[in-house]
Structure formats: structure tokens, C-alpha cells
């Protein structure tokens, strides 16, 4: 590893990819070493700075993820599940820290990260922001304090281009509520309501997904009982909160023992609340 960690960014042309690149080049703690895009993308072969409408940065957008990741100390990845699994293999081969913000991964896909996590540091989270990770811990504590007289509903809102639902953050919050109650989310999750659904099942954790406009990310966890509601809320108004968290994770992972970590580990919140 160089004195200043080298960072490769996957999905370089995407909203989060460009946000991450801007944060990396603005930082004096890391340096950009690679920009990765899919085969056939118009940016491939171009200088990433020029492709983003700015000055050249001397980094050419590439489809050769294996080489770009091998030359980096950390790769930050907000792409798609299949791509993330491929990148995880490359990161494990090179001992590169892999920061994963990809959402929409199935339980089986997440389980497939166990093997590469045995060879390198993987930090995976449905949301990289400090506020959301605090909300996760609060949700767990409130769920533990309240019995099943309180229905739990996770309500999330995102922009109209988001392709997965519920969001990764919503699932994080649902997992936290389930853990607080000592149950498995898979046993109590209620994700689909349409038509004559019947009464709500006691103890279920429900999910509601809203898609519209340019909403960055809003999450409410509602505990509703007869006569009262408790609502925990986080609103992200700027994607930079996710980029800052991802860079923090990339730096935190340097020199760590191989393994699977999350943002609670990065932020030192694993044992709090």
C-alpha cells in the first residue's frame, strides 16, 4: 500500500460513481487510481475527468476490473449484485479492501461474499451514512422495549430511477427491528399488500416503498399501537453523506484483518445502545 491509499471506483458514470470520484479527488487522504465501467459504455477509453465534463485526471475509464482493482488499495462499489460478486472475487485475489454499497442483493448473493471475506476486508452496508446507522441502533433498542402491541412499519422513499424495493436501508432497519424482538425478519416480513389482504398479522414488520421525482432517500420506522405512534426518521438531502461514509470505510479497512464488516464496525457503534 502507498502512503496515500489508492481508490478504484466501479460504475464510474453513475450518480454515486461520479459523486465518489469527486470526493476522492477533493480529498488529501486518498487518491483516485481507477474508474471502472461495463463493456460497451460510451465512457470506456476516455479520461474520467473529461468524461465528467471537467479537466483530465490521467485516469482512463476501463472495463478491466481485475487489473484496476489489483492496482488499488480499496475499491468502492455501488453497482448491481452480479457485478458486485465479480468485483469481490477480484478484490479477494489482490487483497484489496472492498466497500460495498450495492443494494438489492439476495440472501444467497450475500452468502456468496463469505468466501472473498475470508481473504480480504469487505465492508458492506445498505446505507453508509452516520445518521442511518444511528437510526438502525435506535430502531433495535425501541423494538426491544416495545411488545407486539406495537406494529412496526418501515416506510421508505427514493427517486423514480431506483430499481430495487424495499431499499437496502429499509431492510437494514427491518433487520434491526427483528433483532430487537428476537425474531428472524424472514419469518415476519410483510412486503406486499394489494387487494383484500385481511387484517395485519400481529408481530409482522411491514414495508412501504415510495418512488418519485429526485428524492435522495427518506426512511421512517413507525411503531403504531392503539392511541399512539412513535416515529423514528432519517432524511438524506444530498448523496454526499453516502460518499463520505464510503470513503471513511475504505480508510478504516486499511490494515484490518480479512473479514465481513459493516458501517457499525467502521463507526464504532457495534456495541453501543
Residues identified as active-site? 158, 162
**Total residue length of the chain:** 273
* C-alpha distance from residue 183 to each of 45, 143, 203, 216, 273 (Å): 50, 11, 10, 30, 19
Distance CA 151, CA 209 (A): 17
Question: Where do we find the cell 484489496?
Answer: 96
- Coil, strand, or helix at residue 105? coil
> Are the CB atoms for 131 and 234 separated by under 8 Å?
yes
* Grid cell listed for 267: 463507526
CA distances from 222 to 15, 150, 199, 252 (A): 30, 9, 18, 33
Amino acid at each position: 500500500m502507498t502512503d496515500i491509499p489508492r481508490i478504484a471506483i466501479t460504475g464510474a458514470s453513475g450518480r454515486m460513481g461520479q459523486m465518489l470520484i469527486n470526493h476522492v479527488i477533493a480529498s488529501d487522504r486518498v487518491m483516485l487510481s481507477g474508474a471502472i465501467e461495463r463493456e460497451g459504455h460510451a465512457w470506456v477509453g476516455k479520461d474520467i475527468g473529461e468524461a465528467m465534463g471537467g479537466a483530465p485526471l490521467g485516469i482512463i475509464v476501463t472495463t478491466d476490473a481485475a487489473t484496476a482493482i489489483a492496482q488499488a488499495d480499496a475499491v468502492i462499489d455501488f453497482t448491481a449484485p452480479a457485478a458486485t460478486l465479480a468485483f469481490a472475487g477480484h478484490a479477494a485475489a489482490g487483497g484489496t479492501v472492498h466497500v460495498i454499497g450495492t443494494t438489492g442483493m439476495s440472501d444467497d448473493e450475500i452468502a456468496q461474499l463469505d468466501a472473498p471475506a475470508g481473504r480480504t476486508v469487505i465492508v458492506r452496508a445498505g446505507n453508509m451514512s452516520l445518521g442511518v446507522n444511528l437510526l438502525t441502533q435506535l430502531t433495535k433498542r425501541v423494538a426491544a422495549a416495545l411488545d407486539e402491541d406495537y406494529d412496526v412499519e418501515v416506510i421508505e422513499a427514493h427517486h423514480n430511477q431506483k430499481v430495487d424495493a424495499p431499499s437496502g436501508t429499509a431492510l437494514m432497519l427491518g433487520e434491526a427491528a427483528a433483532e430487537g424482538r428476537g425474531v428472524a425478519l424472514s419469518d415476519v416480513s410483510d412486503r406486499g399488500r394489494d387487494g383484500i389482504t385481511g387484517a395485519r398479522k400481529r408481530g409482522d414488520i411491514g414495508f412501504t416503498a415510495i418512488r418519485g421525482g429526485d428524492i435522495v432517500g427518506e426512511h421512517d420506522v413507525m411503531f403504531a399501537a392503539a392511541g399512539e405512534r412513535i416515529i423514528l426518521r432519517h432524511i438524506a438531502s444530498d448523496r454526499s453523506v453516502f460518499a463520505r461514509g464510503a470513503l471513511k470505510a475504505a480508510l478504516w479497512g486499511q490494515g484490518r484483518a480479512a473479514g465481513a464488516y459493516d458501517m457499525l464496525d467502521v463507526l464504532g457503534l457495534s456495541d453501543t445502545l
